Structure formats: structure tokens, C-alpha cells
């Protein structure tokens, strides 16, 4: 039986536009730092992608710094800045920040000093979307771009983090987008690439795919392609809510990404549910892919006020534009079948 992939927030299938751009870039032999014709051809690919990314997110007057991942972008933006963060941020951001901001039960973060704070656009575990304050120092937009409209200039954010593989680009390439004139100290030194802010020969092939994917992904948002996915999200939640009253759908009262369902069934461990769904041919997750596999309660859910049992009993279903109603109903059938078995087991405490 064909497997069903419902873990798009972890990574997305490569878009055809990105694949085509990458294949074309493979035939360009030059180093983009070389001044001869071959080098200029490689440099042109990088600069075209830089422009594509900038235009796609409304950052035409900003600088796009290509790096190897969103994790590297966070380090480049945050090291030495002591930015204030909340517990709902991805670990890549939380590792560099000062934990001083709080989040409410809907995952909304209260910001007192935007110029010293970092707040994500949307959460990858819960799908909750933030209302960003003007003048914010940094925002992680990895989960938002390609799913909802995002305009860098209009947001009033000084710096933003992107990751290509979250919207149909290749893995292993990300970007830090900064307002022109913003001081960013290089963390990787030894060369003058990326205007001296990130040494190392550019990943020309990956960057080509990044640019093409950004154009295509934002076009899909502008065309309203995610409205159908949002209906599937609501259909799934309604189907499960009718059958299982105890399940909590996290962030249901807040604005969320159109594709994300975070659901808690207290006592039924998320990792167990993930394995059961995998055996049924369905890929879901127990939270962020970077922390999945570590047997511990979700720090995001704990920051939102859920207790350890609840935070360890969550799974995330994240859909893509290729997801069908049949996929969603197949998950619902499989999950409800396993829930019936779980609920029939006499137990004390967690399963």
C-alpha cells in the first residue's frame, strides 16, 4: 500500500521547479568567486536566486545571506546579541536566546521590548501564527514562508530566518535576511563570500533550488492554494473530535498555519502513536523533527502551560499541497483504530 506522508513541517517534497534549477546548475563548472567566464556564470546563478528569494518575501531593499541551514542562520543572527526569547521557539533559536518571554495557552507571545526580542512567525509544532510587533529584532519564518503570506518589509522585522526545504527547496541551504545596513558579524571566517558575512564557497546547486522554490511556493500562497488544505485540516479535527472527546487540539482558538494539527491525548505517548502510524504506513511526528526521538515532553507545549503528561502525549499532523482527503481519512481511520485499542487497556498513569 502507498504510504501517506503527513510530516510536511519536518521537510517537504522537492518542487519540480527547484529540481530543474538544480539540474541546470550542475552543468555550471565555475566557482562563483572566480572572475573568469565560468566563475561569472556560477555567480550569476547565486545572484539570481538571491533576487528571487528577496522578491518572494518582499525584501528587495534587504540583504539575503545564504547559509547551510536555518540553524546556522539563527547562530549568525543571534550570537553575542542576547535576544529575548520564549519557550515556544525552535531549539536552534532558543539555544542562543535569553529565556525571558512568556506564551499563553494559545501560544501567543507577549513582547515588551521588540528591539531586543526574537519571536517566530509561526510555530512548527502547533501551527500557531504570531502577531509580530513592529521593530522586532529577529523572527524565524521557516514554517511560515510558503504556507501563509509574509512580507519582510511590511513586517517591520530587522532580520528573518529561512530554510529552503520547508517550502519545496533542497535540504542543506538556508538564509538570513537582514535590513540593509544591519551589522552582522561573520561566524564562519576565512573567505570573503556573502559580502564577508559567511565564508565558504557557496552551495550553487542548493541555492539555485532555493530561489526557484521560493518563487513557486509564494506563488501558490498568492493563488490561494492552501485554502483546500485548511479545509482538510478542519475536516480531520472535526472527525476526530466527534469520536474522541478527550483529545485536545492545540491552538484551535488562535490563528494557525493552514496545514498543521497538533493533538494531545493525555497518557498516550506521542512516540508510541508515531510508531503505530508508521506501521500503518502513515508518517506523522511527535513534534519538531530536530527534537523527535528524544524521549521528553515537548518544550513548546510546556511553555504553553500543558503538563508533562500532556506534553509527552502530543502528535503533529502536517499536510502539504499534495495531501488528499483520502490521505487524511486514512490517517483518521488508522488513528481511531489504535485509540480504540489504547482506551481498552486497563492502566495507571501513562501508556
* 285, β-bridge pairs: 316
Give all domains of the chain, ordered by start, each with its CATH number: 4-10+225-343 (3.90.1150.10), 16-222 (3.40.640.10)
| CA of residue 309 relative to chain centroid, distance | 25
Query: Which residue in the list 98, 241, 248, 290 is annotated as catalytic?
Result: 290
* 84, β-bridge pairs: 98, 117
The answer to whether 290 is a known catalytic residue is yes
**87: its cell numbers:** 519557550
Q: Evaluate whether 283 touches 7 at the Cβ level (below 8 Å).
A: yes
**313: its cell numbers:** 502525549
CA distance 296 to 75: 24
CB burial of residue 199 (10 Å; 0-12, 13-18, 19+): middle
Going by the DSSP 8-state scheme, the letter that residue 348 receives in this structure is S
Q: E strands of 47-192, at which residues?
A: 62-67, 84-86, 98-101, 138-140, 159-163, 174-179
Q: Which of 109, 91, 144 is nearest to 298 (CA)?
A: 91
Three-state DSSP class for residue 330: helix
Per-residue pLDDT tens listing for the chain (351 residues)? 799 999 999 999 999 999 999 999 999 999 999 999 999 999 999 999 999 999 999 999 999 999 999 999 999 999 999 999 999 999 999 999 999 999 999 999 999 999 999 999 999 999 999 999 999 999 999 999 999 999 999 999 999 999 999 999 999 999 999 999 999 999 999 999 999 999 999 999 999 999 999 999 999 999 999 999 999 999 999 999 999 999 999 999 899 999 999 999 999 999 999 999 999 999 999 976 555 455 579 999 999 999 999 999 999 999 999 999 999 999 999 999 999 999 988 765 544
**264: its cell numbers:** 494531545
Amino acid at each position: 500500500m502507498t504510504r501517506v506522508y503527513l510530516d510536511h513541517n519536518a521537510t517537504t517534497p522537492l518542487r519540480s521547479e527547484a529540481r530543474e534549477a538544480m539540474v541546470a546548475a550542475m552543468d555550471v563548472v565555475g566557482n562563483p568567486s572566480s572572475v573568469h567566464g565560468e566563475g561569472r556564470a556560477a555567480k550569476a546563478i547565486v545572484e539570481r536566486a538571491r533576487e528571487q528569494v528577496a522578491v518572494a518575501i518582499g525584501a528587495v531593499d534587504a540583504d539575503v545571506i545564504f547559509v547551510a541551514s536555518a540553524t546556522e542562520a539563527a547562530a549568525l543572527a543571534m550570537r553575542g546579541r542576547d535576544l529575548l526569547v520564549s519557550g515556544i521557539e525552535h531549539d536552534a533559536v532558543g539555544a542562543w536566546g535569553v529565556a525571558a518571554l512568556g506564551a499563553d495557552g494559545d501560544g501567543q507571545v507577549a513582547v515588551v521590548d521588540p528591539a531586543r526580542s526574537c519571536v517566530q512567525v509561526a510555530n512548527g509544532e502547533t501551527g500557531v501564527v504570531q502577531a509580530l510587533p513592529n521593530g522586532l529584532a529577529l523572527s524565524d519564518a521557516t514554517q511560515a514562508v510558503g504556507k501563509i503570506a509574509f512580507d519582510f518589509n511590511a513586517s517591520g522585522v530587522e532580520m528573518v530566518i529561512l530554510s529552503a526545504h520547508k517550502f519545496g527547496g533542497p535540504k542543506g541551504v538556508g538564509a538570513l535576511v537582514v535590513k540593509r545596513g544591519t551589522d552582522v558579524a561573520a561566524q564562519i571566517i576565512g573567505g570573503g563570500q556573502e559580502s564577508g558575512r559567511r565564508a565558504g564557497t557557496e552551495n550553487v546547486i542548493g541555492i539555485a533550488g532555493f530561489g526557484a522554490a521560493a518563487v513557486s511556493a509564494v506563488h501558490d500562497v498568492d493563488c490561494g492554494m492552501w485554502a483546500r488544505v485548511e479545509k482538510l485540516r478542519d475536516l480531520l479535527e472535526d472527525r476526530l473530535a466527534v469520536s474522541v472527546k478527550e483529545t485536545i487540539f492545540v491552538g484551535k482558538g488562535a490563528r494557525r498555519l493552514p496545514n498543521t494539527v497538533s493533538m494531545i491525548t493525555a497518557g498516550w505517548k506521542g512516540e508510541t502513536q508515531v510508531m503505530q502510524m508508521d506501521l500503518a504506513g502513515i508518517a506523522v511526528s511527535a513534534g519538531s523533527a530536530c527534537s523527535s526521538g528524544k524521549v521528553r515532553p515537548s518544550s513548546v507545549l510546556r511553555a504553553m502551560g500543558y503538563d508533562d503528561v500532556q506534553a509527552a502525549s502530543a502528535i503533529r499532523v502536517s499536510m502539504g499541497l499534495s495531501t488528499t482527503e483520502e490521505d487524511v481519512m486514512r490517517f483518521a481511520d488508522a488513528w481511531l483504530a489504535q485509540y480504540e485499542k489504547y482506551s481498552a487497556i486497563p492502566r495507571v498513569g501513562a501508556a
